[in-house]
Amino acid sequence: MSPVIQAEGLSKSYAGVRALDNVSFTVEPGRIVGLIGPNGAGKTTALKAILGLTPYSGTLSVLGHDPYRERGRLMQDVSFIADVATLPRWLRVRDALEFVARIHPRFQADRARAFLSRTEVRQDARVRELSKGMIVQLHLALVMAIDARLLVLDEPTLGLDILYRKAFYEALLNDYFDGERTILVTTHQVEEIEYILTDLMFIQHGRLVLNSSMDAVQDSFVEVLIAPERVAEAEQLRPLYRREMFGKKLFLFEGVARDRLAGLGELHRPSVADLFVAKMKGAPA
């Protein structure tokens, strides 16, 4: 199967600042990819380029199309939830469904209605009467009812309470993801998606500092709770990152074989959040 997204030497500058600096990556179909980075690292620019919302240099192919030049064609197979909700406040839910049904050839209004019937969003409500969580549910209902091959989510759960956030990902995994569709998601709430992702990309200063499947991440990164008498020995293996917890030293190693580390202390799988901190601080600015 051909890749869903293929980027080669993707670059973009705003007023002399490199938002994307020669970025190359491939996203295969059926993956759930997390694009994680601090504010201003280039996440949104990358998503905009993929959605054809901004010109760029380098080559980029999304579902076999050049997103900037063939945006209309591309949008038949791509759906998108922005972090900024843009539905007009006077719009009624029912009319929103009807509107999308008229403009999008792949929209199935029944699916959106079925999804909304399991929420508290009422068909005759206006957007301004909905809570923030309900607006996100409406967005989700609209994009999940589009039979798209790529779904792009930019901070989809920002500002939502924990119940809505869990329900959001549950709906996504239950009703939408089918193993062939592809999801690209950016978020600051790494811990809530870390087990959902199949692939992980870290972006910093417009460059990818990590681009790997979760399986490979688990093979190459190991955190060790170092036994006190082994600290000097552990230092020799050049940990990527060191931290202390309750007076004990935790070292994060990249690419050191597990059997070499096993004698140094207790081995743990680092969380994505720990990995992120280590990579951001460990990488040269």
Partner 1 sequence: MEPNWNDTQPIYRQLRDRIVTMILEGVVNDGDALPSVRQVAGEYQLNPLTVLKGYQALVDEELVEKKRGLGMYVKAGARKALLADERRRFLEEQWPGIAATIRRLGFDPKELMDQVNGQEARS
* Contact residues for partner 1, defined by CB under 8 A: 32, 166, 169-174, 177-179, 192-193, 195-198, 214, 218, 223, 266-271
53 or 196: CB nearest partner 1:
196
CB of 123 to partner 1, least distance (A): 25
Q: Tell the burial category of 68 from Cβ atoms under 10 Å away from its Cβ (0-12, 13-18, 19+).
A: middle
43 or 165: CB nearest partner 1:
165
- How far is CA 185 from each of CA 46, 144, 204, 234, 277, rounded to the nearest angstrom? 11, 15, 16, 36, 19
CB of 139 to partner 1, least distance (A): 18
CB of 14 to partner 1, least distance (A): 34
> Which residues, 6 or more positions from 178, have their beta carbon under 8 angstroms from its beta carbon?
none
87 or 196: CB nearest partner 1:
196
* Cα–Cα distance, 43 to 186 (Å, whole number): 7
CB of 83 to partner 1, least distance (A): 21
89 or 269: CB nearest partner 1:
269
128 or 268: CB nearest partner 1:
268
In this structure, are residues 283 and 209 in contact, taking their beta carbons and an 8 Å threshold? Answer: yes
Q: What is the DSSP letter of 84?
A: S
CB atoms within 10 A of CB 168: 21
CB atoms within 10 A of CB 29: 16
CB of 238 to partner 1, least distance (A): 22
